[in-house]
Amino acid sequence: MRVALAAAAIAIVVAASALADTTRTGGSKERRFFSARHGVGVDAPPGWALSQHTGYPTVLVALVHPGGSRISVAVDRTTVKDAAALVEQSKPGLLAQGLTIVQTAPGPHDGVQLEARATRRNQALRQLYIVRKIEGGPDARQAVVVTLATPATDLAAATGPFEWVLAHLTFEAPIRLDAKTESKPDAGR
pLDDT in tens, 98-129: 999 999 999 999 999 999 999 888 999 999 99
Query: pTM for the full model?
Result: 0.80
Q: Is the pLDDT of residue 35 over 50?
A: yes
3-state class (DSSP) for residue 75: strand
Q: Is the pLDDT of residue 22 over 70?
A: no
Q: Are 102 and 117 in contact (CB under 8 A)?
A: yes
Tell me which residue of 91, 63, 84 sits closest to 147, measured CA to CA: 63
Q: What's residue 135's pLDDT?
A: 84
Tell me which residue of 184, 182, 141, 161 sits closest to 65, measured CA to CA: 161
Q: What's residue 14's pLDDT?
A: 41
Which residues, 6+ apart, have CB-to-CB distance to 26 below 8 Å?
A: none
- The string of pLDDT tens digits covering residues 172-184 is 999 854 555 555 5
Q: How far is CA 73 from CA 37, 54, 76, 122, 135, in A?
A: 14, 10, 10, 22, 21
Which of 10-14, 15-19, 85-89 is predicted with the least confidence, judged by mean pLDDT? 15-19
Which of 19-28, 31-40, 85-94, 170-179 is predicted with the least confidence, judged by mean pLDDT? 19-28
Q: Is the pLDDT of residue 5 over 60?
A: no
DSSP code per residue over 29-60: GGGEEEETTTTEEEEPPTT-EEE---S-TTEE
Tell me which residue of 20, 94, 91 sits closest to 59, measured CA to CA: 20
- The string of pLDDT tens digits covering residues 132-189 is 999 876 779 999 999 999 999 999 999 999 999 999 999 999 985 455 555 555 555 5
Assigned superfamily of 4-171: Mog1/PsbP, alpha/beta/alpha sandwich (3.40.1000.10)
- The string of pLDDT tens digits covering residues 44-88 is 999 999 998 888 889 999 999 999 999 999 999 999 999 999 999
Helix axis angle for 83-96 and 4-14, nearest 10°, is 60
Q: What's residue 60's pLDDT?
A: 94
Mean per-residue pLDDT of the chain:
83
Burial class (CB in 10 A: 0-12, 13-18, 19+), 186: buried
Q: Are 73 and 56 in contact (CB under 8 A)?
A: no
